[in-house]
Chain A
């Protein structure tokens, strides 16, 4: 039962990184200073999906609270500055995207676009730091609390945060290449391929810093799995780059999507059976089973989730289906 809920938590957080990830990628790409109409076209390419993307985060935190209350408190409070940054970023993006076209003046719109870019950057940095924080272990003491926040400020956390920014940017470019009208999408392909190379370098750098870090090596319960998943991440990026070269935009987008989901799988699988590995007191480390809510709560939520999950995913799929394909002159413009 705990495992099923842990997998579901992973599914929703990874889903958020994949879907919210291209929102943020598009947000970062707004900084290219392209003309206002192009910026607007990029945001409306995300258009109908935007609200449905971000709510994966809301659902992930809901599951975290309902099914893993202990983890919720210690993870969020224990990564305070990183979560704060991510949260501020999410707020800026959500408000910016939805409000940027409401004022008519160019100046105001450009200002909102800058807020979206900053927000996207903050969100990517913040979640990258949270993931790295899990992977390098936390100062969890016998009293059950994570002490202080200094543990977050390590080279590994910085490298991972930057790698997530690069991943998100590449993913956003792959999304736009897939979704904008063919001529526009083609213009973005070289940029997307370059960004993928940057992402590969950033991921490799983060991996190298991680392998050199005592804390990361100490916290990893299954280092082999971690290395394997890291290699698959790079493989996914290489595949994305090759696919873009052959104009297989769908494959490329699927591959960058996998590259954003894999870090979540990597963290979960490398630490298993733990969720929080203590760097100060091995006995204080928290396993998935320890962190989970007690059985009656999980049973209740399970009965609820069983019929609900197909509906949730079904309605999201319906949204993707209705608005599939490249945007064209018939595409609604609202953001």
Chain B
């Protein structure tokens, strides 16, 4: 069995699942910060109910972000030991910074936020959520620094066949970074906003209780998604310039720059196929189509006036149907970015076949099948739970339930707390 192919498939599968969840995390946490701030500032309990409802969905979604993230982190060492060997001095630094600056604090804060309801002062409790949000953005930043370095290695020199760090600031000003980061973050906001709008629309269509609360979150979701799609489009088109300047071979087609680069690589690394598979570009086209299509969200914005968006009903259907689109676009975009840098792990520096661990094919296959099944099952279970909790409405989320109140979903009280 081809170890390299299996390792690539495993990375693609895990990364895709990871990103489906963390995009929602990034988007929702931003909206939650707004909701809880409104609660603390106004003291109006409706904001607390909104915070608890959306917070519960956020926390459920978060679980898979962590589970898949841990597999991502270990995969570098398990399957790509050549990556740490040849470029670990440079590529490892942003990842180490990410774990310390972002994840460590994020998890600590989140644990306190979940259990801090009714226990901490409101200001402190809110500050924890701000901490969670800031560290989530920090993690997006540092992981994009790391990813952009793979796309366009900078700030290093090769001595004895190993890359050494020479200029860390070059990693932060990498031309492959800025627009991509903006694009990723606004895509996450779009995803979170549209999810909020879609779930609210579903409740409004079914005329469940809490009409008023879901009207509010519908409006927040629609406004967020609409603003975000313009940012997504802006950063998306702005990416073409820098990406093509640092990766001339990326989007197919043959330019003089690409041919010169391929000639140079053939001289240095031997002849070979240095063009990525065309598969990547098909996905890119679909993503742009989705992005342009979602631009129509601007047409819904005026309908917020006098609740026409709810009274007409069909816009609610549209919003619900649109929820999967950003998820599809997210995966397509990443496949384009990652497959487009083939056959390199670090563009022009380290080919994939030198980065893969010298592991036997069957072991890699066990790992691929095992983790795909495990994470796949967990992901589906998680989505089912999310859907159920979304459908349950805002009446009594477990998150933030006052301790004295007997839990509606427990037939017996807990003896330990009796």
Q: Are A66 and B95 in contact (CB under 8 A)?
A: yes
Say yes or no: A94-B67 contact (C-beta < 8 A), given A62-B100, A66-B97: yes
Q: Which of B71-79, B182-190, B312-320 contacts A (4 or more CB under 8 A)?
A: B71-79
Which chain B residues border A51 with CB–CB below 8 Å?
66, 107-108, 110-111, 114
| CB-contact partner of B77 in A61, A91, A184, under 8 A | A61
Q: Are A103 and B111 in contact (CB under 8 A)?
A: no
Which chain B residues border A69 with CB–CB below 8 Å?
84-85, 88-89, 92
CB distance from B200 to the nearest CB of A (A): 21
Query: How many angstroms from the CA of A332 to the CA of B416 in the assembled complex?
Result: 12
Which chain B residues border A49 with CB–CB below 8 Å?
111
Q: Are B93 and A62 in contact (CB under 8 A)?
A: no
Say yes or no: A77-B81 contact (C-beta < 8 A), given A58-B104, A294-B165: yes
A-B contact count (CB 8 A): 263
Q: Are B374 and A65 in contact (CB under 8 A)?
A: no
Say yes or no: A62-B165 contact (C-beta < 8 A), given A95-B67, A99-B382: no
In the assembled complex, A63 has its CB within 8 A of some CB on chain B = yes
Which chain B residues border A308 with CB–CB below 8 Å?
100-101
Q: Are A37 and B412 in contact (CB under 8 A)?
A: yes
In the assembled complex, B367 has its CB within 8 A of some CB on chain A = yes
Q: Which 5 A-B pairs have the closest CB atoms?
A: A69-B88, A66-B96, A62-B99, A73-B81, A76-B77
25 A-B contacts (beta carbon < 8 Å): A41-B416, A48-B116, A49-B111, A51-B108, A55-B103, A55-B107, A61-B74, A62-B103, A69-B89, A72-B76, A73-B77, A73-B83, A73-B357, A76-B77, A84-B366, A91-B71, A102-B398, A181-B416, A184-B415, A297-B92, A297-B165, A304-B101, A329-B417, A332-B403, A334-B114
Query: How many angstroms from the CA of A58 to the CA of B359 in the assembled complex?
Result: 23
| CB-contact partner of B374 in A91, A102, A145, A304, under 8 A | A91
Say yes or no: A301-B93 contact (C-beta < 8 A), given A41-B415, A308-B101, A331-B417: yes
In the assembled complex, B117 has its CB within 8 A of some CB on chain A = yes
CB distance from A305 to the nearest CB of B (A): 7
Interface size of A as a range: 35 or more
Q: Are A61 and B108 in contact (CB under 8 A)?
A: no
In the assembled complex, B168 has its CB within 8 A of some CB on chain A = yes
| CB-contact partner of B108 in A52, A57, A180, under 8 A | A52
Binding site for B on A (CB under 8 A): 37-38, 40-41, 44-45, 47-52, 54-59, 61-67, 69-70, 72-77, 80-81, 83-84, 87-88, 90-92, 94-95, 98-99, 101-104, 144-145, 147-149, 180-181, 184, 293-294, 296-297, 300-301, 304-305, 308, 311-312, 315-316, 318-319, 322-323, 327-334
In the complex, the chain A residue whose C-beta lies closest to that of B77 is A76
In the complex, the chain B residue whose C-beta lies closest to that of A49 is B111
In the assembled complex, B2 has its CB within 8 A of some CB on chain A = no
In the complex, the chain B residue whose C-beta lies closest to that of A36 is B412
In the assembled complex, B370 has its CB within 8 A of some CB on chain A = yes
